[in-house]
């Protein structure tokens, strides 16, 4: 099969395996599975926050908005990640370095000043501010293992990690409000 490689050269390669899936996509599937594992851990380690409500709506409108935004960011991110792997990886690639790897993905984020500006902003938000905020704020709120929100960003997206954290604290707030007894006014 002849494919255009890196927008410049055509290379004769066949990327399909006997199952019809490209071997290069295995890293994306593993990535997605690790994301699910981290999310399950967050929920399992915080049973009081993710417990069902005895009365009222089980999910607030604000939580739904956060989840929709987060899921949309994952869908968009995986769409572009899939495109990147399809275009840049080769049959002998590995996910760490070389064609179609993390190393190349990061390097391409700095390919021009506009991309570099966006990439440095994203890097600072994801690698410094997200863990600082979720760990400090999460501990103050009694969220167990809040560092897992940062770990989730490595497999989902930075936007999803923030959206999931915001939905979590909204859910916790709602539980706290439902625990407060209402005393009649005299």
With a cut of 90, say whether residue 125 has pLDDT above it: yes
Asked if the structure places residue 106 within a domain, the reply is: yes
The span from the CA of 137 to the CA of 180, in Å, is: 22
Q: Residue 5: phi, psi to the nearest 5?
A: -115, 125
Find the domain containing 36 and state its range.
23-173
pLDDT value of residue 98: 75
| Beta bridge partners of residue 4, listed in sequence order | 10
What's the structural domain count of the chain? 1
Q: Please give the biggest Cα pair distance in the chain.
A: 83
Q: Is residue 98 a part of any domain in this protein? A: yes
Residue 163 lies in a domain: yes
Is 82 inside any structural domain?
yes
Tell me: the pLDDT tens digits for 170-184? 999 999 988 755 444
pLDDT-based confidence at 9, cuts 50/70/90? very low
Inter-CA distances, 45 with 96, 148, 157, 182, Å: 30, 10, 21, 29
The better pLDDT of the pair 23, 60 is held by 60
Judge whether 104 and 98 are in contact, CB under 8 Å.
yes
57 falls in which pLDDT band (50, 70, 90)? confident
Query: What is the predicted pLDDT for the residue at 12?
Result: 40
Please, which pLDDT band fits residue 50 given cuts at 50, 70 and 90?
very high
Percent of the chain residues past pLDDT 70, beyond the cut: 83
Determine contact, residues 150/134, Cβ cutoff 8 Å.
yes
- What distance in Å separates the CA atoms of residue 57 and residue 159, rounded to the nearest whole number? 25
Distances (CA, A) of 152 to 1, 114, 178, 186: 36, 27, 29, 49
C-alpha span between 90 and 49 (Å, rounded): 44
Give pLDDT, residue 178. Answer: 84
Q: Which has the closest alpha carbon to 146: 127, 159, 133?
A: 133
On whether residue 5 sits in a domain, the answer given is no
Residue 13 lies in a domain: no
Tell me whether residue 12 is in a domain: no
Give pLDDT tens digits for 66-116: 999 999 999 999 999 889 888 888 777 776 777 778 889 899 999 999 999
Residue 150, in any domain of the structure: yes
């Amino acid at each position: 099969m002849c494919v255009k490689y890196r927008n410049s050269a055509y290379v004769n390669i066949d990327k399909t395996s006997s199952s019809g899936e490209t071997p290069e996509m295995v890293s994306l599937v593993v990535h997605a599975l690790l994301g699910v594992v981290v999310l399950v851990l967050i929920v399992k380690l915080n049973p009081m926050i993710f417990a069902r409500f005895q009365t009222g709506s089980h999910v607030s409108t604000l939580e739904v908005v956060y989840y929709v935004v987060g899921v949309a960011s994952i869908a968009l991110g995986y769409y572009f990640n899939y495109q990147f792997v399809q275009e840049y990886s080769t049959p002998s690639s590995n996910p760490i370095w070389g064609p179609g790897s993390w190393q190349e993905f990061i390097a391409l984020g700095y390919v021009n000043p506009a991309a570099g500006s966006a990439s440095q902003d994203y890097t600072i938000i994801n690698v410094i501010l997200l863990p600082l905020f979720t760990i400090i704020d999460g501990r103050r709120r009694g969220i167990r293992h809040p560092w897992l929100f940062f770990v989730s960003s490595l497999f989902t997206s930075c936007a999803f990690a923030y959206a999931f954290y915001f939905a979590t604290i909204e859910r916790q707030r709602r539980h706290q409000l439902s625990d407060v007894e209402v005393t009649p006014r005299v």
